[in-house]
Structure 1
Amino acid sequence: MSVLLPALRDPSDAPALRFGADALSYRELARAAGTLAGRFGAAGRVAVWATPSARTAVAVVAALLAGVPAVPINPRTGERELAHILGDSAPDVVLAGPGDVLPAGLAALPRIDVELTGADGTPPGRTGVVDAESPALIVYTSGTTGPPKGVLLSHRAVAASLDALAGAWSWTADDVLVHALPLFHVHGLVLGVLGPLRRGGEVRHLGGFSVEGVARELGNGGTMLFGVPTMYHRLADALEGDAGLAGALAGARLLVSGSAALPVHDHERIAAATGRKVVERYGMTETLMNTSVRPGGEPRPGTVGVPLEGVDLRLVDEDGAVLGERDGETVGEVQVRGPNLFSGYLNRPEATAAAFDGGWFRTGDMAVREADGGVRLVGRKATDLIKSGGYKIGAGEIENALLDHPGVREAAVTGEPDADLGERIVAWVVPRDGEVPPAEAELADHVARLLAPHKRPRVVRYLDALPRNDMGKVLKKALPGAR
């Protein structure tokens, strides 16, 4: 049995999961997952059709109990990507809800329907303690630079990351987590489901995000909320004149945002209406969680806090030199090491080797360090590092500055070739009022005033909306004409 979920060793009747009308205690979860694990037979890997449902949670828990790696499948995955994931991970069965309609690409796999009930005293499908270094999950990357890679996340990595967060956030069995994130990604599945279960607490999943659902669950005993900036933006919009929502958020012990930077304007609106500050953290599929702002810490644009316990973090320049500056200006690539790291990419030894620098994982994220050791992200190395006029500029800090303008609803920044500067800064802006957008010169002056003159956008392009993925991240390569 996996040591990830100690509350299932001698399960109680305390609430564990609630997804709408489906609710399971720890005893009921142990029965359902144990029964399901007993049906795996000799399966070496299982695919999980990861709908936002209690059955997905039961399926993943069953795989953990049995020591069988689970491969979460995004139900919105396209045909080509699904074929790649199945060919690469080679699962033996697919786990799905009885009413789930699966695509033709999964037709060749034996199917096991996940039930929410099980027999009393049902043991896990396999005996013995699961090796901590064995893979618990194989989670596929978004594939922005090629075919998606299968990230091998061990039982050790998941436990280490969740325990470090528990220490940083004082996360206990008394906490009730509310969230509405997808369950095929580490944010929604590892933090949002396995996190509460490892602590022995409760998770309440909304099925889909709604302001009403957040207010209802936080107002009815919820203590923590996990979300992405889009969700918090909608909450901030809804707070004006909604005393019930303000009271529900004010009653939460912890509000956490991740997957992208939360604009300062939304931080300020939520804090003003509720007295609560949203905590930001930084992680990725390969590393799980690396840093977090500590509860009560002052939010700053792009700041994701200090390294979690057990995580070593450094910044490295283009020549591989380690940067010691903590001046809030010197940009370097974030590299990390620690027990939270993945074990490698499935079937990709060359990619795994290339991802490390002497034991340090190259995140591809660019950041600066503040005087207090805090990390401020400024963009991705591949898409967000702009070299203009001899300066290295991170797109993320310009985006945060643009979002601080009252006339800007959404913003993205890219670079494009410029004969004089090498690259010029291009701002893609979704205005709050499409009929009267802020002028290009006004936005450029706004950025120059907050940051520095060389960081002002040279071109502003207006859009109705920015292209985003399921986790709310902007897809810059989908911007019209973007490189």
Structure 2
Amino acid sequence: MSALLRSLNPLAVARGDDVPDAVRIDGHTLSRSDVLGAATALAARVARAERVAVLANPTATTVVAVVGCLLAGVTVVPVPPDSGPAELAHILTDSGAQAWVGAAPDNEHPDVPQLPVLPVRLHARDWHHVPEPSPARTAFVLYTSGTTGPPKGVLLSRAAIAAGIDALAEAWDWTERDTLVHGLPLFHVHGLVLGLIGPLRVGSRLIHTGSPTPRAYAQARGTLYFGVPTVWSRIVEDEESARALSGARLLVSGSAPLPVPVFEKLRELTGLTPIERYGMSETMLTLSTRADGERRPGWVGTPVAGVETRLRDEHGADVPHDGESIGVLQVRGPMLFDGYLNRPDATAASWTEDGWFVTGDVAVVDEGGFHRIVGRESTDLIKSGGFRVGAGEIETVLLGHPSVGEVAVVGLPDPDLGQRITAFVVPASSGPEVDEDELISYVAEQLSVHKRPREVRVTSALPRNAMGKVQKGKLGTDGR
């Protein structure tokens, strides 16, 4: 049986090593034998397919659909449940998915391919032997958010996923004794690869809460929790729920920087210092603070096992590891992707000649190898007064001020400085009135003085695309 899904070893199940509550999701409780039996039955029916789509709702059907396809060696294309017609049409057409497994969206738009549906039978059971697929086989095609054009399909192999999960299990001391709790979407690396395949490989229990509400997290009584900064921000606002997490072992935050006040409030209410980590669809998670190591707010730690990193400036030269100098982060390791589907030019452009993946993120590294991500090179690297400044670290600081609800920092043209650091601030709904001078001083006190905004502009909303990403190119273009 699949080495990727290590805890579903049929011999272990046969000798009585079953776990009656291995997965709890959407009102269903599945034992390991439930998952294995239903998934093996599905594998026999889907085995002749090459690539299939799975509507990634947080349900037991999705769990069995994904596991069954992985057992059969069939590539899964997870599809966001809220995809609009344009996104849905692009994903299905670009991926070449041959069928839906489990369920299809209720969408009859003429541009959306209408594929056959292979139902998932949760109560079906099959115990026949399934040959082990090649480790090089593509397990998932994950589509990026598409901030610079149509979403690209990221090809993740079975070997890369196994390496990524094992590296994090080592860093976090994640074992079969844990119960993982999260309410993250099942169509991204965070929720799907780490949050679903992770526990099935490591052997821990999984509780998926559906919506990641503070009450749901508190009631789950897990040992390991995954969340994004929005989730943790809501939890610290509900002090009773936050304190209920004090019995956990690790609280992991990712996908965006965790504001320092939220980091500190979590530590105060739970007694636990959050783990922060960094990754992307193309690399999975390559940097993390450790269960047995230092954890600093705003820093994402050191490379996990098997990963190497380096910083390069715009001329390709090394950037010193002094905790201040900014460079573009490049990585290499066994958990990286195999390329973009149908995009050989984009694949080639993302790698250096000597085999490093160019993340497009800008970062700093200190003398001890700790990394801090300060933004995207394309939108967040600001060159002001001879300094290279990352917009992301300024945004993280500003989000810690009680008057700031949302913020985006950009570099606007300036005849003297080259680019003027400008913060666009959406006021907090229940905070004090925004004081522009106070915010400028607030940043200068926490970061180097040259990183302070030279201007703060108050706005009612930030421009966003259909995926909710801030469109920084539109800021400052209308005179506001």
Range class of TM-score, shorter chain: over 0.9
The equivalences for 1:107-122 within 5 A come to: 108-122=114-128
Q: Structure 2: give runs of 5+ residues left out of the alignment.
A: none
Question: Match of 1:47, SS?
Answer: strand
The TM-score normalised by the length of structure 2 is 0.93
Query: 8 Å contact 2:54–2:65 — kept in the other structure?
Result: yes
1:389 alignment counterpart? 385
The equivalences for 1:29-48 within 5 A come to: 29-48=35-54
2:447 alignment counterpart? 451
TM-superposed CA distance for 1:476, in Å, is 3.8
Query: 8 Å contact 2:40–2:126 — kept in the other structure?
Result: no
TM-superposed CA distance for 1:440, in Å, is 0.6
1-structure distance, mates of 2:431, 2:398: 18
**Candidates 190, 193, 198, aligned match of 2:193:** 190
**Candidates 65, 81, 104, aligned match of 2:87:** 81
1-structure distance, mates of 2:257, 2:478: 21
Query: 8 Å contact 2:308–2:333 — kept in the other structure?
Result: yes
Cα shift readout 1:31-63 (whole Å, capped 9, x = no counterpart): 111111111152110111111112112111111
Question: Match of 1:130, SS?
Answer: coil
2-structure distance, mates of 1:480, 1:206: 40
Structure 1 pair 247–446 and aligned structure 2 pair: CA distance change class (3 A): closer
Structure 1 pair 172–344 and aligned structure 2 pair: CA distance change class (3 A): same
1:160 alignment counterpart? 163
The equivalences for 1:272-311 within 5 A come to: 272-295=268-291, 297-311=293-307
1-structure distance, mates of 2:43, 2:329: 39
Cα shift readout 1:109-141 (whole Å, capped 9, x = no counterpart): 1111222221242544xxx22111110000011
TM-superposed CA distance for 1:80, in Å, is 1.7
1-structure distance, mates of 2:362, 2:70: 34
Q: Structure 1: give runs of 5+ residues left out of the alignment.
A: none
**Candidates 435, 438, 463, aligned match of 1:439:** 435
2-structure distance, mates of 1:414, 1:153: 33
Query: 8 Å contact 1:33–1:59 — kept in the other structure?
Result: yes
Cα shift readout 1:174-193 (whole Å, capped 9, x = no counterpart): 11111001111111000100
Matched, 1:330 2:333: no
2:360 alignment counterpart? 364
1:269 alignment counterpart? 265
**Candidates 24, 28, 37, aligned match of 1:18:** 24
Cα shift readout 1:219-265 (whole Å, capped 9, x = no counterpart): xxx111100000000001111xx2xx244211011100000000110
1-structure distance, mates of 2:23, 2:93: 32
Query: 8 Å contact 1:264–1:299 — kept in the other structure?
Result: no
TM-superposed CA distance for 1:433, in Å, is 5.1
**Candidates 339, 342, 366, aligned match of 1:344:** 339
Query: 8 Å contact 2:103–2:117 — kept in the other structure?
Result: no
Q: Which amino acid aligns with 1:287?
A: T
**Candidates 250, 254, 259, aligned match of 2:250:** 254
Q: Which amino acid aligns with 1:366?
A: V
2-structure distance, mates of 1:129, 1:193: 20
Structure 1 pair 475–252 and aligned structure 2 pair: CA distance change class (3 A): farther
Query: 8 Å contact 1:229–1:472 — kept in the other structure?
Result: no
2-structure distance, mates of 1:252, 1:478: 42
1:144 alignment counterpart? 147
Cα shift readout 1:295-352 (whole Å, capped 9, x = no counterpart): 26554343100000100111111111122x2211111111000101001111111111
Query: 8 Å contact 1:19–1:54 — kept in the other structure?
Result: yes
RMSD over aligned CA atoms reads: 2.2
Query: 8 Å contact 1:467–1:479 — kept in the other structure?
Result: yes
Cα shift readout 1:81-116 (whole Å, capped 9, x = no counterpart): 221211111011111348x63554555211112222
1-structure distance, mates of 2:471, 2:86: 19
Cα shift readout 1:439-470 (whole Å, capped 9, x = no counterpart): 11111111122222221112222245556789
Q: Percent identity?
A: 52
